[in-house]
Each structure stands twice: as C-alpha cells, then as structure tokens.
Chain A
Amino acid sequence: MSDTSEHSHVDERPSVTDPETVARHAEYWRRNVRVLGMLLVAWFVVSYLAGIVFAEALNAFTLPFTNFPVGFWFAQQGSIYVFVILIFVYVKLMNDLDREFDVDEGASS
C-alpha cells in the first residue's frame, strides 16, 4: 500500500483556503444534500412503496381514464415516468443552485 499521491490528481489542484469561500462551499453542499434527500424520498415512494409494498392494496383501484390496476401501473409504468421527471427536476434545481452560490461552469467550457 504505497502512497500514490505523487501520481494522483490531488496536488495538481489549488486548494481553497479563503474562509468566506470555504463557508460558501459548505453551505452549497448542505443545500445540495437537501435537494438529493427530497428527490430520493420521491424515488422511494413511487417504486418501493407504491410499486412494491402497497402494490397489492393499490390494485383494488383503477387508474382514472385507463384500465390499469394502480399498484401494477406504478410497478410497470408510473415509477419509470417519475424517475425520468426526477432527473430533469434535479438538473434544474442544481443548475439554479450552482448559480446562486457562484460555483457554476459558465456558458461554455
């Protein structure tokens, strides 16, 4: 187990020491984790709760305007639609957050 830091990316990058920036980055990270938490709750609810744990109970109902049993629909259709929406919501929230904390990457690289 040799120390490989001389071959790694670590020393190629400047470290941030300015206390104001450090505090801003810490706050950015807290907000980031909060966004993740919110979205992962939705992710869990549509798949594991609606599609698995409560699927049988929800099958007693039919999805409006269709003939899908609700639990079955969540397991084979609905959860997938929600997953796609969640990622696009995440992209929007994070891009806004990046700008708010001035850590975004600008228009072009």
Chain B
Amino acid sequence: MNVQAWTFLLVAASFALYIGIAVWSRASSTKDFYVAGGGVSPLANGMATAADWMSAASFISMAGLISFMGYDGSVYLMGWTGGYVLLALLLAPYLRKYGAFTVPDFVGDRYYSQLARIVAVVCAIFVSFTYVAGQMRGVGIVFGRFLEVDVNVGVGIGMAIVFFYAVLGGMKGITYTQVAQYCVLIFAFMVPAIFLSLMITGTPIPQFGLGGVEQASGIPLLERLNGLHRELGFGPYTSGTKSTLDVFFITAALMVGTAGLPHVIIRFYTVPRVRDARISVGWALLFISLLYTTAPAVAVFARTNLINSVQDVPYAQVPEWFTKWEDTGLLTFNDVNGDGLIQYVGPESSITNELTVDRDIMVLANPEIANLPAWVIGLVAAGGLAAALSTAAGLLLVISSAVSHDLLKRSLKPDISEKQELLAARCAAGVAVIVAGYFGMNPPGFVAQVVAFAFGLAASSFFPAIILGIFSKRTTREGAILGMVSGITFTAAYIVYFNFVNPEANNAASWWFGISPEGIGTVGMLLNFAVTIVVSRMTPEPPPQVQVLVDLIRVPRGAGEAHELSI
C-alpha cells in the first residue's frame, strides 16, 4: 500500500472510533454536558486533559520550531509544562472544592458581582476563539498535504466530526473521545521518534538518543550538530540568541497562561473529589511530558537529517518529499549562484542561503526525509488530526458553556429550565463550530501569532483573579475587576502596537527592557496583581458570606459532586 492509502485507512479508522465513542457516551443532563457528570476517574481525566492541552501546535509545530530555534525553543518546553505545577498547587484542588461548572462561575461568585462574571466571560470567549481558529487551520493543512483534498474540504470534514461529538456528547462525549485521541496522538508521535533514534544513535529511547552518540560519525550528537551549525554559519544549537531576560519572561507568560486557560481548568471539575483533582493534574503532566521530552529529540534528529540530506545535493537529484513539499509552497529553493547545488546556510555564512523551509512542516516531513515506511507517515497524519480535533472540541465546550450557562442561566434568564439550558448549550456549540470553521477556511493572516498571544492574555487576566480569590480573603470585587481589565488591556495594547500598529518597530531595540510581545503577558500579570492588591486595600472588605466561602474552599472535606445549581 502507498502512503495515501495508508493515510486514508488510518484517518478513517480513527474517525470511526471517535464517532462510536460519542454515540456511546452522549450527554443527557446539563451536568453531563458541562462536567461529564462529575464522575470521571483521575487517570482518564489526566489522559483527556493531555489530549485537550496538546493541540496541533504541540504535535505539528513545536518540534519544528525547536529544530530551528535550538536552545531558544526551550521556552515552549518549560513554559507549556511548568504551568501544570502552578495548576496542581495553586488552582485545581480549590476550584474542584468550589465545584462550579465554569471559570466565570467562580469569578462571579467569589467577587459577588455580575460585572466580574461578564468580564470573565468575555475573556474566556476571546481566548478560546483565537485558539480554536488555529486548530481548524491545522486540520486543513493535514488534509491538504496527505489526503490531497482541498484545504477547505478538509476543514469541512473536521468541522463535521467535531460538531457531531461535541454537540451530541458535551463534556462527557469529549472526555472519552479525548482519551482515545491521546492514545492515537502519542503513538503517532513516538513511533517515528523511536525509528529515528534507532537509525541515528542506535538507542530506541529518543530521550537518551538526544544525549547519545551519532553512530555514523562516532561524535556525540549535540556536539556534531553544533559543529554542522558552525560550518554553515548558524549560531550554536545548544546556546540561544534571545536575551536571558526575554527567555525568562516568555517562559513565565506561557507557564502562567497555561494555568489560566479556561479549557484546561474546567477539566478538573469533572473528577469526584479534591484529591482526585490533585492526582489527575499529575497524570496529565506525566502523559504530556512523554511528548514534551521526545519533541526536543525529534527536533535534533530532524535538524541533523535535514542538513545531511539537502546540503550540497544537486537539485536535479532531490528526493520525492522535497518536490512534494515544494508544491505546497512551504519549502522553496532558489539557486542564487546557479551551480545546481542546494546551499543551506545560516546568517553568519559568507555565501547566500538558497533554501527556505517552513517550520511547520518538520514533524510531518520528518518520516519521509528519513525514509520510514508508508504506514508511519499515515499514522503521523492521523495523530496530527487527533491533536487538533481534541483541542478544538475542548475549546468549543468552553465557548458553549460560557454562552448557555454564564450568560443565559446565571445572568440574563435565571429561570430557564434544565432542558432549555441543554438545548441552548448544544446550539451555542453548533454556532461556535461554524464560526471556528469559517476562520479555519479564511484565516486572518495573524492566526499563528494570535494563538501564541492567547497565553499572554490568559496570564494577565484570569490567573491573578483566581489565585488571589483563593489565597487572599481581603481581595474585593473592585480590586479583581480593575486588575483583570488593566492586565488584559495593557497586554493586548502592547501586542497590538508591535504587531499591527507599528510592526517595523517590532525588534529588541524598541521593546520595553527588551521584552518581546510574547513575554509581555508576564508584565501584564504583575500589573494585574499590583492593581488588585492595592485597590482591594482601599475598598470595603468582601461580605462575610464570601469570606466563609473562601474558608470552605481551602479545606478538602465535603467537596461532593460538581454542583447542580439549585436555586
């Protein structure tokens, strides 16, 4: 069988599995729809969280980014895992004890204010929509390259699948589908990595292969890659080019943003007890770390393979994958010196670079570059789709519950019946799928950037409000609202200024203290903390029943199930 037949087979089989699970686990109450009935086991919740969290960006783009950034790529590795420590220690157990359905639910109750609830709803919807558009785009790319269908048709198929199981099954359907999607995506990521590690270093474990010896040359792999980089005029792979301060701030923004993302937080409402919430963050990070410690190894293997297979090769003799990716426009060769050979060199080289490779294609192209069997390539396509669909579904649920629960039930029309609320949730999920699909087909040029900035916005809005709501009884509604508004406004303004208003000035020299727009969320978060604390000291203390509520959140006993709101 050829690559395309294998891809069709594996993608179709995985889709059939997801649909089967959705039919089996359909939601019958709002509680099923929002928090999967509150009865998910910690291990299953950990796996679902891992799939929810690892998006098309983690699966398709991250290893490629690291491959080109070297040490600087560490910001993604530490940033997107370290946030789970914050989540486990500072948020998950307390939010589970509180037992709401959504993040705005907690913010609205803790800050005894509808305005705080609305601010939180707007932040949640904004963060989730920017993120989901990127996922649908990832679906389109995978379909376009591997199944050779039109990108728009690919997005359409992806929409139909997500629509089916998110609208029908709600959180319950999504949770069990995500468990299956985690298995597909981790298998699809590990298999090529193990093949590559064996081929290059002779070790089946990629994490050890990265610190091993390249068999062909007998030189340690990282030393060998640093040597290649020196020869070709790139900076050394194991040292960065970003300033230490910027790396520090970007890492912090990604960590805190991770802990503040609503689609990740709500996953911890689905387990029965506080202690289950604690341990399921541990499982989630364990499952995530499997991919995240493999990715830097894949990055180095891909980098070494790429350089070895194209450098000084006559253009007339390039392998098939090279021309296929050239067709997509994501890989371009321009024979500047007319010698018919490919010169792939860095900025410090004396000759001109002739090859441009898009970072996003490295993971997808890697198995072909290394000549792996056809079924492995098909598997990678199915894995990329699993990653994109699972994240999209989680985000759509946040959007639909924000509309049906936070806006409709808790704010506009409190007397709505359970049946009507469930219908509203399904309609909202349906509309959200269509809007997301539209953005996937007609992506605004800045989707990729906006996705990265979603973290900065989450870091500068939710995180301080939730932390202070738990750890400081003195925090008032005035403090929290002003804090959220000033944090997110400052961060958004900095990002918009450097990316859209004055893009020419987007360089280290004009940034404040050399902090890039990617890292500015950390400053926004500090500002939010400062404003909230100062304003809280100047305003009347929260009513006694809120202080009692905070006392109750701090003690595990009596969590019970996630609340059915009996009003």
Chain A positions within 8 Å of B, measured between CB atoms, are 1-13, 15-16, 25, 28-29, 32-33, 36, 39-40, 43, 47-48, 51-53, 55-56, 59, 63, 66-69, 72-73, 75-77, 79-81, 83-84, 86-88, 90-91, 94-95, 98, 103-105, 109
Contacts and interface: CB of A to CB of B under 8 A. Distances in A.
B563 A9 contact: yes
Given A10-B548, A68-B222, A52 B244 contact: yes
A9 B296 CA distance: 46
Contacts of A81: 289, 293
Given A29-B554, A87-B281, A90-B89, A76 B109 contact: no
Interface in B207-221: 207-208, 210-213, 220-221
A10 B278 contact: no
A56 B546 CA distance: 48
B477 A10 contact: no
Contacts of A25: 551, 554-555
Contacts of A52: 74, 78, 244, 247-248, 251
B554 A32 contact: yes
Contacts of B282: 84, 87-88, 90-91
Given A13-B548, A52-B78, A94-B93, 11 more contacts: A4-B113, A11-B545, A13-B558, A15-B545, A25-B554, A55-B71, A59-B239, A77-B207, A86-B85, A87-B85, A104-B275
B74 A98 contact: no
21 contacts: A1-B113, A5-B543, A5-B545, A13-B552, A33-B471, A48-B251, A51-B74, A67-B213, A75-B74, A75-B77, A76-B71, A76-B74, A76-B77, A77-B210, A79-B81, A87-B282, A91-B275, A95-B278, A103-B557, A105-B274, A109-B273
Contacts of A103: 555-557
A34 B244 CA distance: 30
Contacts of B239: 56, 59, 72
Contacts of B121: none
B108 interface: yes
Given A4-B108, A9-B549, A67-B220, A53 B248 contact: yes
A79 B114 contact: no
B526 to A, nearest CB: 15
A48 B74 CA distance: 11
A9 B556 contact: no
B559 interface: yes
A28 B549 CA distance: 16
Interface of B: 66, 71, 73-74, 77-78, 81-82, 84-85, 88-90, 93, 98-100, 108-109, 112-115, 117, 207-208, 210-213, 220-223, 238-239, 244, 247-248, 251-252, 272-275, 278-279, 281-282, 285-286, 289, 292-293, 296, 410, 414, 471, 477, 543, 545-546, 548-549, 551-552, 554-561, 563, 565-567
Given A67-B221, A105-B557, A84 B251 contact: no
B38 to A, nearest CB: 9
B567 A10 contact: no
The 7 closest A-B pairs by CB, nearest first: A67-B220, A66-B211, A75-B74, A87-B282, A76-B296, A68-B211, A8-B109
Nearest to A7: B567
A80 B84 CA distance: 10
A75 B82 contact: no
A67 B223 contact: yes
Contacts of B554: 25, 28-29, 32
Given A4-B113, A15-B548, A81-B293, A67 B238 contact: no
Contact of B556 (A53, A88, A98): A98
A88 B281 CA distance: 9
A36 B91 CA distance: 12
B230 to A, nearest CB: 15
Given A9-B563, A10-B549, A55-B71, A77 B293 contact: yes
Contacts of B109: 4, 8-10
Contacts of A98: 275, 556-557
Given A53-B248, A83-B81, A105 B556 contact: yes
B223 A1 contact: no
Residue with the greatest number of chain B CB neighbours at <10 A, chosen from A4, A28, A66:
A4
A63 B565 CA distance: 54
Contacts of B100: 9
Contacts of A84: 282, 285-286, 289
Contacts of A6: 567
A15 B84 CA distance: 32
B541 to A, nearest CB: 15
B566 A12 contact: yes
A109 to B, nearest CB: 4
A26 to B, nearest CB: 9
